[in-house]
Amino acid sequence: MGRKTWHAKRNGTFTFRNGNRWQIHVHSHGQYGPQCRGPTAHTVVLDTETKQWYAPATQLWRGRLHVMGGSKENRYTAGLEIWSLAVKDGKTLEKEWSEIPIPRGGPHRACVVVDDRLYVIGGQEGDFMAKPGSPIFKCSRRNKFTCWVMRLSGKRYPPLPKPNSHIEFAWVGVNNSIILVGGTTEKHPETKKMVLNGEVFQFNLDTLKWSVIGRLPYRVKTTLVGFWNGWLYFTSGQRDKGPNDPAPKKVTGDMWKTKLKLNL
């Protein structure tokens, strides 16, 4: 799965089917506006049959919506909560969210359900903070990336081959494996600029081993990944400055696909 095996398609998007309905998930939990403004708790989903918006969370598992970790109001302190809410047919069954702790918090991680198990992968502890007194909430660099893998029960698994963050939707479960695409890793040691990842990672849940099974046509973070009929897709995100510069630059709307070949 080298760079030459990818096929491009512009302006792609992903939707998800829930029974007889197609739903477009728009996760707006993040922040209010550009730079380092404060965080928001809002998340929404559009049901294309009823044309109504609902409030989902990061992951749906066992009939409950789950929001895990993230950052506190100052954008740096890692959240250690998992909030969940029972739902059915697009409506809530409870009036309040339930809370349980998570061993390690932080934003920009992957929350994956495979074989009725919920996994939390990568992310970072800490994030850019607004400079005090800045009228535009200008960011100051201050963050630490993580590479751990954890099941909701608290069981630890082998870490990623390297630290990886900004992978919230850059994953897909295929044949008892978790596939991760792109992301960001530790900052450049000299320039301190963000460094993007261009690998396709596989975590085999039978052998509990990570491997690199391919490379993207370019490095990219915060991309959206899907799998259909043997093809691995990714679309959107922020790509690198070029083959020789892994720093982020252009936000892209392209869609790419390649035949997925897993390691056994």
Dump pLDDT digits (tens) for 125-147: 777 777 777 777 677 765 555 55
CATH of the domain at 13: 2.120.10.80
Q: How far is CA 128 from CA 38, 77, 79, 108, 125, in A?
A: 11, 10, 15, 12, 11
Condensed to tens digits (0 to 9), the pLDDT of residues 176-229 reads 999 999 999 988 888 878 899 999 999 999 999 999 999 999 999 999 999 999
Closest to 118 in 3D by CA, of 87, 86, 150, 146:
150
**Number of domains present in the structure of the chain:** 1
Q: Is residue 18 part of a domain?
A: yes
In terms of phi and psi (left: phi > 0; alpha: psi -120 to 50; beta: otherwise), the region of 48 is alpha
Q: Give 10-residue mean pLDDT values along the chain (264 residues).
A: 62 43 45 58 58 53 80 67 79 80 78 87 77 73 58 75 90 94 89 90 95 96 94 95 94 94 89
Distance, CA of 108 to CA of 169 (rounded, Å): 9
Could you tell me the CA-to-CA distances from 181 to 62, 152, 235 in Å, in that order?
Answer: 26, 22, 11
Of 123, 210, 113, whose CA–CA distance to 166 is shortest?
Answer: 123
Domain-located, residue 132: yes
Say if 175 falls within a structural domain: yes
* Domain contains 253: yes
Please tell me the total number of residues recorded for the chain in this structure.
Answer: 264
**Domain span at residue 36?**
3-259
Note the pLDDT of residue 188. Answer: 83
170-to-66, 79, 128, 189, 211 alpha-carbon distances in Å? 18, 21, 21, 25, 16
Q: Which pTM does this prediction carry?
A: 0.75
Give φ, ψ of 55 to 5 degrees.
-110, 105
- Which residue bears the tokens 């993207």? 216
CA distances 72 to 43, 97, 137, 214, 232, Å, are: 16, 17, 16, 35, 34
Whether 264 maps to a domain, the answer reads no
pLDDT of residue 260: 96
pLDDT at 10: 45
Q: Which residues of 189-199 are buried (b: 16+ CB within 10 A; e: fewer)?
A: eeeeebbbbbb
Residue 229 has what pLDDT? 94
- Per-residue confidence (pLDDT) for residue 225, from 0 to 100: 95
